[in-house]
């Protein structure tokens, strides 16, 4: 076999992911809050970018009027002019200073740890007991449960078991009731004692039949305890009203996170208007001073000219990418609104099945683009605030027309409403739900009904039955 080196031409098609293209794709996937942080960071790092202001023209005139005009300054290079303006911090006005709102001074709600510490110091004065109590409280998780055993507490604090048990009993009397318990049963029993409902039937159910209670086996519990079904049902109703995770009543110290709608849909004169919410990030423009400087490239050194060209190109691409993101979001949202008009008018029972490919074909973009445009985005509609992904879901064949489909979300809504309206003493079975939904025009199996019911957190027929 002969090996040789040859030179030849060949045409190939390749998709090259340039840094600019990666930036545009990443920005499309950002939420309004994320984009605001990104744009603010670019404003700080790129001198060619500035925030658009309504009084921009007046400020520029003032800036030009402030420029020195004598013969000395006329001989200055462009780079010296840049230093002059940067040192003077041009464009800063009183309006740019952050306005402190009243909400900034509102103190956060106390955490579970702070709340228990306050009660401990109001109850205990002895220094050794305080040390033990601090260690116990520090070992309680966010749900309110003690995560270590008494022996470990005794070894860590150097106190005997009786004293540790005494301090744990004191902490278990604190608010929220049930805190400091080592398991669910102890948590519920502490709450029973606090509310003065130490019923022997309820206590026996908590200690021995919690698993049966969770599965709604009322008859089995009644037979094993030798009491009536009605007594067991009353006790179970009260147990279900107790808090299994008392610690969650208090914040963990994290800041509250708000959702800002990326798309706003309003009905005006009978038509739905789609608005892309761009108030969460500043509107960018090219800085006029630097733009004028770019028209005199001969005034700069090669390194300075290269730096300015890179920053200028980055600024222009960022502004174009933001505008392209806005247009893509508008097209996708407009398409979803046009398809889901019945949902916007009448509610979730009328939502239609939809997938990414349908929207991509209508908007003339790739499915991945639609996926990125709807990721981490929220839309404010007359029916409420929803994630854009909410409108995409599978469909179930309609009984009247096999080509027509009904959204799975609509079926879930029907199941929930039927169960809410059922006779509690004779609840609907999954097969009865199948027949009712079939009469309403959708073909669905009993297994699918059971699956949707479990996803909705609804118990089985036996567990829902009242006696």
Residue 61: is its pLDDT beyond 70?
no
Q: What is the band of 466 on the pLDDT scale with cuts at 50, 70, 90?
A: confident
Residue 38: is its pLDDT beyond 50?
yes
Distance CA 168, CA 135 (A): 10
3-state secondary structure of 14: coil
Structure token digits, residue 79: 């780079």
Residue 404: is its pLDDT beyond 50?
yes
Distance CA 131, CA 133 (A): 5
Sign of CA pseudo-dihedral 270, 272, 277, 283: negative
- Per-residue b or e along 299-333, where b marks 16 or more CB atoms closer than 10 Å to that residue's CB: ebeeebeeebeebbebbebbeebbeebeebbbbbb
Structure confidence at residue 180 (pLDDT): 93
Query: What domains sit in the chain, N to C, each tagged with a CATH number?
Result: 112-249 (no CATH), 263-391 (no CATH), 395-464 (1.10.10.60)
Q: What is the mean pLDDT of the chain?
A: 82
Structure confidence at residue 242 (pLDDT): 92
Strand-pairing partners, residue 251, are 111
Let me know: does 145 contact 135? Beta carbons within 8 Å: no
Residue 101: is its pLDDT beyond 80?
no
Q: What is the band of 71 on the pLDDT scale with cuts at 50, 70, 90?
A: very low
Least Cα distance to 82 among 293, 244, 249 occurs for 293
Q: What is the band of 5 on the pLDDT scale with cuts at 50, 70, 90?
A: confident
Higher-scoring residue by pLDDT: 255, 15: 15
Structure confidence at residue 251 (pLDDT): 61
Structure confidence at residue 19 (pLDDT): 75
Mean pLDDT, residues 61-87: 47
3-state secondary structure of 286: strand
**% of the chain at pLDDT higher than 70:** 83
Least Cα distance to 393 among 339, 353, 420, 429 occurs for 353
Helix (H) or strand (E) holding 23: helix 19-29
**Is the preceding omega at residue 25 within 30 degrees of 0, hence cis?**
no
Structure confidence at residue 401 (pLDDT): 52
Q: What is the band of 249 on the pLDDT scale with cuts at 50, 70, 90?
A: confident
Structure confidence at residue 326 (pLDDT): 92
Higher-scoring residue by pLDDT: 299, 374: 374
Q: Which of 109-113, 193-197, 394-398, 462-466 bottoms out in mean pLDDT, i.e. has the lowest?
A: 394-398
- 66 vs 69, 84, 173, 244, 312, CA distance in Å? 9, 11, 71, 69, 25
Q: What is the pLDDT of residues 217-230, one digit of tens each?
A: 888 999 999 999 88
Mean pLDDT, residues 356-382: 91
Q: What is the pLDDT of residues 185-218, one digit of tens each?
A: 999 999 999 888 778 999 999 999 988 888 888 8
Structure confidence at residue 179 (pLDDT): 94
Q: What is the pLDDT of residues 289-321, one digit of tens each?
A: 888 888 887 778 888 888 888 888 888 899 999
User: Where are any strands of DSSP class E within 11-169?
Assistant: 49-51
Structure confidence at residue 85 (pLDDT): 46
Residue 8: is its pLDDT beyond 80?
no
- Please give the model's pTM, rounded to 2 decimal places: 0.66
Strand-pairing partners, residue 146, are 140
């Amino acid at each position: 076999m002969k090996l040789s080196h040859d030179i030849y031409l060949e045409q190939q098609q390749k998709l090259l992911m340039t840094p600019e293209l990666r930036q545009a794709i990443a920005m499309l996937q950002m939420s309004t809050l994320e984009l605001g942080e990104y744009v603010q960071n670019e404003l700080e790092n790129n001198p060619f970018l500035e925030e658009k202001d309504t009084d921009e023209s007046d400020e520029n005139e003032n800036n030009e009027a402030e420029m020195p005009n004598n013969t000395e300054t006329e001989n200055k290079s462009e780079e010296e002019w840049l230093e002059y303006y940067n040192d003077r911090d041009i464009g800063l006005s009183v309006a740019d200073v952050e306005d402190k709102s009243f909400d900034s001074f509102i103190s956060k709600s106390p955490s579970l740890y702070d709340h228990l510490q306050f009660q401990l110091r109001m109850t205990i004065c002895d220094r050794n007991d305080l040390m033990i109590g601090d260690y116990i409280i520090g070992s309680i998780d966010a749900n309110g449960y003690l995560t270590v055993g008494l022996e470990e507490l005794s070894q860590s604090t150097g106190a005997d078991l009786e004293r540790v048990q005494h301090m744990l009993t004191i902490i278990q009397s604190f608010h929220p009731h049930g805190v400091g318990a080592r398991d669910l049963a102890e948590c519920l029993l502490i709450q029973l004692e606090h509310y003065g409902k130490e019923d022997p039937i309820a206590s026996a159910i908590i200690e021995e039949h919690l698993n049966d209670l969770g599965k709604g086996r009322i008859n089995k519990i009644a037979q094993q305890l030798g009491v009536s079904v009605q007594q067991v049902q009353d006790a179970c109703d009260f147990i279900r009203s107790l808090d299994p995770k008392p610690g969650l009543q208090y914040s963990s110290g994290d800041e509250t996170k708000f959702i800002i709608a990326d798309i706003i849909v309003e009905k005006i004169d009978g038509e739905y208007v789609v608005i892309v919410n761009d108030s969460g990030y500043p509107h960018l423009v090219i800085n006029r001073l630097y733009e004028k400087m770019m028209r005199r490239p001969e005034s700069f050194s090669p390194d300075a000219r290269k730096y300015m060209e890179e920053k200028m190109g980055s600024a222009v691409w960022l502004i174009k990418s933001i505008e392209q993101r806005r247009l893509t979001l508008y097209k996708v949202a407009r398409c979803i609104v046009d398809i889901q008009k019945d949902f916007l008018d009448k509610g979730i029972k009328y939502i239609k099945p939809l997938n990414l490919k349908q929207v991509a074909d209508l908007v003339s973009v790739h499915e991945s683009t639609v996926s990125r445009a709807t990721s981490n985005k929220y839309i404010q509609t007359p029916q409420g605030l929803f994630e854009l992904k909410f409108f995409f879901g599978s469909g179930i064949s309609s009984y009247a027309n096999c080509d027509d489909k009904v959204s799975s979300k609509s079926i879930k809504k029907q199941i929930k409403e039927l169960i809410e309206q059922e006779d509690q003493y004779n609840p609907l079975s999954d097969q009865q739900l199948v027949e009712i939904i079939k009469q309403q025009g959708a073909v669905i199996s009993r297994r699918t009904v059971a699956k949707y019911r479990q996803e909705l957190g609804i118990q089985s027929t036996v567990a829902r039955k009242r006696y």
